[in-house]
Structure 1
């Protein structure tokens, strides 16, 4: 076991590639937590059935469903190439930026409003912003909680599996870490965000949670060839990764 763990290699973070990955990751997280305030239901016109106490009426989701899985793909790449310590710093940075976004929205919503009689158009815009920003902070809180738990577990599981298997079985690390991280993230996020999105019944909450989890895992599997390619590309171009790998395998 000890010999296997010595085969795990990780690159240093002082390269030109690491900041780009961090920027993409934080940007995806921020955009996802804003777009998640838009509820959506697919196939409600025909996908209706009862399963015991659960009534399914379409597939409930939110506006982040098409972008959010990319955050876990990026988290996998960072964890695989740069390690758990580097990913912890990225998670902390993302947490701080999401907090800043939440605080900024709250402050903007508290600013003085115009007179609805003398300036009706501007007041209309202010009221619309209040309607949206009144939901977004709850979504951001849900995103922060799910993000911390999910990304931490995703990175931790991936790196621990790599310490055991070395460079082999990347597919198992990607799938295993995603299942653990996405399960935790989805349950925590949906438990907090579902009421704000209108999913107030047990059936709608369960459907929202299951659809989100299955969708994210399926996306991870579908884009796995791209994740493989990006990880391989970075490993070949990070000099410190090659040095650590050679040192580890030559012991």
Structure 2
């Protein structure tokens, strides 16, 4: 009996020394960096007409933040990296992203606290400095929420995907993508919203619940919609990576 027949569900992964891996890392970190800045902008869709009650929950529009259109891409990229390169590789990517987010936040904070011009003699320059503070000033509560949600969500997303792959091998990619996204996005959304909601103005139970549910449902829907693209990218990378093949060690422990 051949090794393939004896272990039909063996998980395959690639080494990270190729030219494709740095591109994925750059895209992932870039998406996280941009999303961390735009998340400080609260938004409410359909607030003028979408009003209804579900038990004790009062819905008045769909509350979200400025990262809603880009942030789900981070989980798509995380899925691709985890599926092709394994959990160990994704752990390094998450750690790198965390470090860069901290550097970016520290840089914005430092720039925001530099000496300002005189508001009387240099009114235009002072106005620009005030605008910078309004747009880019670091809000500690949102920074903490973003970092905490990022760490919890991305680790769970990658871990669940790779563990499922170790059980099913190359089969049922759709189940891994959907299952890991549900777990990771749920943790990320709950952690982030629980910390950031008051700073964004979602101070009632109804607004907090709507903000959390809308964020989670939206992110999962994006994953489902782009799943054919995720399939195509994973398949292309697996064919292009010369080292993609069986590994002797568990991808979650090596």
TM-score w.r.t. structure 1 length?
0.93
User: Which of these residues, 41, 57, 61, is aligned with residue 60 of structure 2?
Assistant: 57
Q: List gaps (5 residues or longer) in structure 1.
A: 246-251
| Residue 110 of structure 2 corresponds to residue 107 of structure 1 | yes
Per residue, is there more helix in 1 or in 2?
1
Instruction: Provide, for residues 37-66 of structure 1, a one-character-per-residue CA deviation record: whole Å limited to 9, x for no partner.
Output: 111100111100122221111000011101
Q: In the TM superposition, what are the counterparts of 1:76-115 in structure 2 within 5 Å?
A: 76-115=79-118
Is the aligned partner of 1:175 residue 2:143?
no
Contact 1:109 1:129 in 2 (8 A): yes
SS at match of 1:61: strand
Contact 1:154 1:182 in 2 (8 A): yes
Alignment partner, residue 133 of structure 2:
130
Cα distance between partner residues in 2 of 1:157 and 1:4: 21
In the other structure, the counterpart of 1:231 is 234
Secondary structure of 2:243's counterpart equals helix
Residues 40/239 of structure 1: CA separation in 2 closer, same or farther (3 Å cut)? same
Number of equivalenced pairs: 243
Q: Distance in 2 between matches of 1:202 and 1:76?
A: 32
Contact 1:46-1:58 within 8 A present in 2 as well: yes
Residues 87, 5 of structure 1: alpha-carbon distance in 2 compared, 3 angstrom cutoff: farther
CA RMSD of aligned residues (A): 1.5
Q: Distance in 2 between matches of 1:230 and 1:138?
A: 36
Per mean C-alpha deviation after superposition, the further-off stretch among 128-137 and 110-119 is 128-137
